[in-house]
Amino acid sequence: SDYLLEVKGLKTYFNHFNKQVPAVNGVDFVVRKGETLGIVGESGCGKSVTAMSILKLLAPEAKIVDGQVLFKGKDLVGLNDRQMTRIRGNEISIIFQEPMTSLNPAYTVGYQIGEAIRTHQKLDKKTTRSRAVEMLKLVGIPDPDKRVDEYPHELSGGMRQRVMIAMALSCNPELLIADEPTTALDVTVQAQILELMKSLKEKFHTSIMMITHDLGVVAEMADYVIVMYAGTVVEYSDVKSLYNKPLHPYTEGLMNSLPKIDDPKDKLEAIPGSVPSLYDLPNGCSFWPRCPYAQEICKQEKPELYEVDQRKVRCFLYSGKIERR
């Protein structure tokens, strides 16, 4: 199959005072080779927990309780720490929003890239250093021979994110998970980093899982998109169809809150209300308290994922049970 990653029925629960809290509640999706999958939703929808479940970097109180994470056909859920260490950084890498928290302030960036490489490959010091310089150059850092000996605080935010990308790609992983990689950066630098990721993807045929709350970033980067809400997938679509016509009312709301290109002063229409607490999810459709189309059935029954033109949407409007009014 051309699936690099296949996530099936993934459930990750948090144990909170002996209550099981469903942070990820039955999530399915695939990432094909060379494809970018966008995962969109507001914070608290389960995007990051999904990523951390794949890499098994969960907090101690979180646990995968069901499902499979098939990477090249092999289920990662049952692997132990030692086996996961071989995969992390080498076959699947992750970059986070704030590089300052993932870079160690006490070591030079060259040393840290070197360590990322040496976890997986036996190289002598000199070769490691020149590989680090090479990686810095690849991600567009000027004067890489000099920068390689600098500490994270000596670099700008954009450059630190480039260093993170260099580290993440240093072992040529097949899958790169990027969790809000540009959220902390200003708009210009954000555009540069996305450009960089796109060109590196072309060059190395890396598949990317791009986690973001920003549908603009997804439009820029992704081939397919899943929209998450309250720990579930509410829409799964190719990117073009999603932008042409969002199906789920939540996706529609996210779309309406994007700044308008032709009239940037036009006030953004944010979705009213907020993401429900996972400790106390509403009965029925999790989105009903915020949904302009909600009807009686929505408050009582949980919608399934319905298939519509090769797309999937978790909403009764597509079940034949209710109509938009």
In 49-151, at which residue ranges do the beta strands (DSSP E only) sit? 62-71, 74-75, 92-95
Closest CA to 140 of 196, 203, 205, 220: 196
CB of 195 to ligand SF4, least distance (A): 35
**Is 228 near ligand SF4 (CB under 6 A)?**
no
**Is 53 near Mg ion (CB under 5 A)?**
no
Q: Max CA-CA distance within the chain?
A: 68
User: Which residue type does 159 have?
Assistant: M
CB of 295 to ligand SF4, least distance (A): 6
Give the residue carrying structure tokens 């870079």: 103
Question: For Mg ion, which stretch binds (CB under 5 A), given 9-17, 41-49, 112-120, 181-189?
Answer: 41-49
Token pair belonging to 27: 């999530």
CB of 218 to ligand SF4, least distance (A): 20
Question: For Mg ion, which stretch binds (CB under 5 A), given 42-50, 108-116, 149-157, 242-250?
Answer: 42-50
Give the residue carrying structure tokens 């507001």: 42
Residues pairing with 5 in the sheet: 31, 71
CB of 231 to ligand SF4, least distance (A): 15
**Is 96 near ligand SF4 (CB under 6 A)?**
no
Do residues 24 and 11 make contact, with C-beta atoms less than 8 angstroms apart? Answer: yes
How far apart CA 31 and CA 274 sit, in angstroms, is 29
Question: For ligand SF4, which stretch binds (CB under 6 A), given 4-12, 87-95, 201-209, 282-290?
Answer: 282-290
Q: Which is nearer to ligand SF4, 46 or 303 (by Cβ)?
A: 303
- CA-CA-CA-CA torsion for 201, 44, 238, 1, nearest 10 degrees? 70
CB of 245 to ligand SF4, least distance (A): 15
Sites of contact with ligand SF4 (CB under 6 A) = 249, 285, 287-288, 291, 293-294, 298, 303, 315-317
Sites of contact with Mg ion (CB under 5 A) = 48
